[in-house]
Chain A
Amino acid sequence: MKTVKARKIGGVILAILIVSLATGWSLFAAKSITLKGSDTMLILGQRWAEVYMNQNLGAVIQVTGGGSGVGIAALINGGTDICQASRPMKSSEVDKLKERFNTKGVEIPVARDGLAIYLNENSKISELTLDQLKGIYTGQITNWKDVGGDDAKIVLYGRENSSGTYVYFKDNVLKGADFAARTQTLPGTAAIVNAVAKDKDGIGYGGAAYAKGVKYCKVKKDEQSPGYEPTLENVKDGKYPISRYLYWYLRNKPTGDIKKLVDWILSEQGQQIVSKVGYFPVK
């Protein structure tokens, strides 16, 4: 009998909970903030949303991906409050936004993303220019002696073409050109780091936090400029050439709940999440 009673009480409590959740949801739904855009930033956006919603009861943040272009289009159509983009808005997109909402939009850099170039620890090479990297990965430079190393064939390691890192490297280092067919594609950055660590003629790319047993290649913008390692400072200052800002775009200057959210992600706690996800903080 006791258990039946307990169950009944439990049932009532559950019912109350469901009802209150449902009404609560409809109350809070009015305050929900939508984030849409870059797939690269999807995980970052979700982490921010999770922590923020835990700390601010009642706040609802919806995060969706689709790509930077999709996010910007949604911002222009009024389909999202905040657009996450891994590239700056094009002037044509700003024009469209102005046409519809009579605003230039607000650009907020929220994180930085940098790709490290890995070399074997015994490699004689310590720095490469962006042009040399492009030549190496497109297959025009096939021997290390052409960039100042030993007379040995370059062994290329990269990511699968389904990876965001693949696309980023292709767009920003290869300037859209195709990877050489000899590029070996491995599942995951850890596998690339391992392969380069064991292959004295290997070269690979991936996140800066991964490197164990390999060395970072200093990257130079061009012949004259100095080479930089992908350290926190260099990426933050924008000195390291293979890095980009990750942005939030808003239609107008943030106010109310959105301002609270923006202030929070730029705060120390918000930026800590950036580092945890694997990007670099902006502050």
Chain B
Amino acid sequence: MIIEKIMKNLEANGNKTQAEFTGLKKRFRLSEFVIEKIIFLSSFLAILGVVLIFVFIFREALPVLTDPEVKKEASLKLFFSTTIWQPVSDTPRYGLIPIIVGTFKVVAVALVISIPLAVGAAVYTSEFAPLKIKEFIKPLVEILAGIPSVVLGFFALMVMASFFHSIFHSTMRLNALNAGMALGFAIIPMIYSIAEDSLNSVPRSLKEASLALGANHWQTAARVSLSVAMPGVLAGIILGLGRAVGETMIVLMASGNASILSASIFDSVRTMSATIAAELGEVVQGSAHYSVLFFIGASLFVLTLLINSLAHVTVGRLQRKLAGKI
């Protein structure tokens, strides 16, 4: 119906002269009104969806803070007073410390692997590489982003784990190093493409000025291009961090999922996201275990929200600083 009306309107407008047409602008037009509302509604629905998810997760997590029955088994105090995660037991213990530490161990490994590789690749393709190689590398890295995380996880479980095991001979074949490496591969494309874009948008005049003053290519790339593009590079890194914290399938498959509290990256780890994925399927709805899993989910939500806002703020600041406004 609406579309028919719009079509009719268009036809009618087609027969009018320019003067009549401009005169129409001030008149109320139903089609425009409707379309505007539809567009408003679709953007509003997108936000509404996120808000509802937010409300749902927090409502399910709330018993951890309020319900006295649940609090006997799991409360904020109990989360941090034990280092054991043992939810299915005669005396269930929900120690979050090993899971939080595990999450950050894996993410740290992923960042250590991915930042140098991704930023290095971005600097190479935007500053040094001949056009042919650049046109070859760029789409290839972006294909990496298209690999489903379950495939990366499977690869890590079957192939990478054996490879690292043969090198390091660690007791545990599936460990933080293995999962972190796979996670690193998952976030490389993200960091790379954002860093590459911002390096490409560095004004040519700046580079030329640097070269004219006698700096060589390397000096120009490292001290001029990279520092001007730093806000974008940092944004890429922080967004990559956010993705790494929430990534589930890779760590579920490649980390071994043992909730061990240690500093060694050769121990198996259990992450927050993998814990939810592994345990939510069979948990009794409304039980303490259920609420705790939602509490972890809510924490993850807040954490990634904070990380993304951090990216926003840092980038804004750096940009203003580079523009000489601070």
A220 to nearest B CB, angstroms? 27
A176 touches B84 (CB 8 A): no
Q: Write the nearest CB–CB distance from A168 to chain B, whole angstroms.
A: 12
Q: Are B282 and A176 in contact (CB under 8 A)?
A: no
Q: Contact: A181 with B260, CB < 8 Å?
A: yes
Q: Is the pair B161, A185 in contact by a Cβ cutoff of 8 Å?
A: no
User: In the complex, what residues of B have CB within 8 A of residue A170's CB?
Assistant: 88
Contacts of B187 in A (CB 8 A): none
Does B252 lie within 8 Å of A162, measured CB to CB? no
Give B85-123 interface residues, CB cut-off 8 Å to A.
85-90, 98
User: Quick one: given A182-B260, A198-B161, A198-B162, are A187 and B253 in contact (CB under 8 Å)?
Assistant: yes
Give bound CA distance, A162 to B84, whole Å: 17
* Complex Cα–Cα for A191 and B154 (A): 10
Query: In the complex, what's the smallest C-beta–C-beta distance from A180 to chain B, in angstroms?
Result: 9
**Does A160 contact B279, Cβ atoms closer than 8 Å?**
yes
The reply to whether B258 and A183 contact each other, CB–CB distance below 8 Å, is yes
CB contacts (< 8 Å) of B280 on chain A: these are: 162
Does A184 interact with chain B (Cβ within 8 Å)?
yes
B275 to chain A, nearest CB (A): 10
- Asked whether, in the complex, the Cβ of B85 is within 8 Å of the Cβ of A162, the reply is no
Q: Which parts of B253-274 form the interface with A (CB within 8 Å)?
A: 253, 256-260, 268, 270
Contact B279 A198 (CB under 8 A): no
B281 to chain A, nearest CB (A): 5
Residue B174 is within 8 A (CB to CB) of chain A in the complex:
yes
Residues on the A chain within 8 Å of B270, using CB: 185
Query: What distance in Å separates the Cβ of B273 from its nearest Cβ neighbour in chain A?
Result: 14
Closest to B154 in A: A191
User: Assuming the A-B contacts A162-B279, A178-B86, A194-B157, are A184 and B256 also in contact, with contact meaning beta carbons closer than 8 angstroms in the complex?
Assistant: yes
Residues in B neighbouring A155, C-beta threshold 8 A = 171-173
Give Cα distance in the complex from A199 to B178, angstroms: 15
**Which residues on B sit within 8 Å (CB–CB) of A167?**
88
Please state if A161 and B173 are interface contacts (CB–CB under 8 Å): no
User: Which residues in window 169-226 of B have CB below 8 A to A?
Assistant: 171-174
Measured in the bound complex, the distance between the Cα atoms of B268 and A183 in whole Å is 9
Q: Is B165 an interface residue (CB 8 A)?
A: yes
Q: Are A184 and B283 in contact (CB under 8 A)?
A: no
Please give me the residue from chain B that is nearest to A153 by CB atom: B171
Assembly CA distance A155 to B161 (angstroms): 14
B278 shortest CB reach to chain A, Å: 4
| Residue of B85, B158, B257, B280 ringed by the most chain A CB atoms within 10 A | B257
Return the chain B residue nearest A199 by Cβ.
B173
| Chain A residues positioned under 8 Å from B89 (CB to CB) | 178
Q: Which residue of A lies closest to B269 (CB)?
A: A184
User: Given A160-B278, A162-B279, A183-B258, are A194 and B158 neighbors across the interface (CB < 8 Å)?
Assistant: yes
Contacts of B157 in A (CB 8 A): 191, 194-195
Of A163, A176, A179, A186, the contact of B256 (CB 8 Å cutoff): A186
Residues 146-198 of A contacting B (Cβ, < 8 Å): 153, 155-156, 160-163, 166-167, 170, 176, 178-179, 181-187, 191, 194-195, 198
Which 3 pairs between the two chains have the least Cβ-Cβ distance?
Answer: A162-B282, A184-B256, A161-B88
What are 9 A-B contacts defined by CB distance under 8 Å?
Answer: A162-B279, A162-B281, A170-B88, A179-B86, A181-B259, A181-B260, A182-B258, A182-B268, A184-B172
